[in-house]
Amino acid sequence: MKLALGPVQYYWPKDTLMAFYREVAAMPVDIVYLGETVCARRHELREDDWLELAEGLVAAGKEVVWSTQVLLESGAHLQAMHRIADNGRYTVEANDMGAVGRLENARPFVAGAHLNVYNPAALRLMADLGAFRWVMPLEMGCVALEQMQRAMPEGMQTEVFAYGRLPLAFSARCFTARYHNLQKDSCGFKCLEYPGGLDVMTREGKPFLVFNGIQTQSASVYNLVMEVARMQSMQVDVLRIAPQPAHTGDIVGMFRKVMERTLSSADALEQMKKMMPGAPCNGYWYGEPGMNWHG
C-alpha cells in the first residue's frame, strides 16, 4: 500500500505553497498530486511554477501526478486542461469527463473521485479509456468498495480518500465572494484570507460546512485511520491525505506508521484529534450520513 498527498484545495500565497512542498519532499509519501483543482482565478502559481515543483519532488523520489480542475466554465479553462493533459511528462488525474476525453488512450491516467465511478461497468469503461488507477467516490462505503474490488479490471489500482475535509460540491457561484458581497469575477481573491476555508455555522452555533470559493466542504474531517488494516486486507493500493494548513506532515507520518504497524490506529487517532481542524467523521464508509462518526 502506498500513501499519497492530494492537491492543495485552498488558496495559499506562493511563498506558502513553495515552502509547503519543500516540506513535502521530506514527508513519507509515495505520490504527490499537484495543480489547482478548485478555481481558475487562483493563480499564485503558474504552470511553470507547478513544473518546477514537480521536478523537485521527482528528484526527492516522489511519483508526481498533475490534477485537472474539477469544474470547467470557459474556453480558457478548457485550454488550461488541454495543456495539463498534453504535458507529456507527468501522469494526469482527470477530474472531469472532458479531461478523460483528452487523455483517452493517449496515455495512462488517474480517474479522479469526481468522475463518480460507482459500479464495475463504469470502472471497466475507465480502464478501456486508459485509466490505470481510480479514486473511490467520497460517498462510497466499504461494502460497495469490496464489491468493486472483486470486479477490478486487470492492472487497475484503487485509491481511497482517507483523511481531510470532504470536497462535497462545486458550483458556478463563489460562496466566499458572496459572503463578502462581491461578484465572483471581482472577488478580491478573498480566499487568501481563509487558508483552511470559511467556516459556516448553524443558527445554534454548531459547525455545518466550510466554504472554499466555489467548493463546499464538510466541516468535519473524514478520517479512516481506524480502517487502514481493513483496507490493506481489501488490497486497496493507495491512501490519499488532503493537505491542511497545519500538521500535514504529522498526519502523514502517523498514517505511515499505522500502515507499517509501528503505531496502533487507536493511538494515532488520539494524537490526530489534537491536530484536526474539525471533529472526525467516517459515516460514508459505513453507508450512513457522512457526518456520523464510528469510533
pTM of the model: 0.96
Q: Which three cell numbers stand for residue 6?
A: 492530494
Mean pLDDT in residue range 74-103: 96
Q: In the predicted model, is pLDDT for residue 9 greater than 90?
A: yes
Mean pLDDT in residue range 191-218: 96
What is the C-alpha separation between 166 and 198, in angstroms, rounded?
A: 14
Q: In the predicted model, is pLDDT for residue 194 greater than 90?
A: yes
Write down the mean pLDDT value for the chain.
96
- 58, with CB counted inside 10 A (0-12, 13-18, 19+), is middle
The predicted structure's pLDDT at residue 262? 98
90-125 pLDDT, tens per residue?
Answer: 999 999 999 999 999 999 999 999 999 999 999 999
- Give 295 or 170, the one with higher predicted confidence: 170
Q: Where are the alpha helices (DSSP H) in the chain?
A: 14-24, 47-59, 75-85, 97-103, 120-129, 142-150, 175-179, 228-233, 248-259, 265-273
Mean pLDDT in residue range 75-95: 95
Q: What is the pLDDT confidence band of residue 295, given thresholds at 50, 70 and 90?
A: confident
Mean pLDDT in residue range 255-269: 98
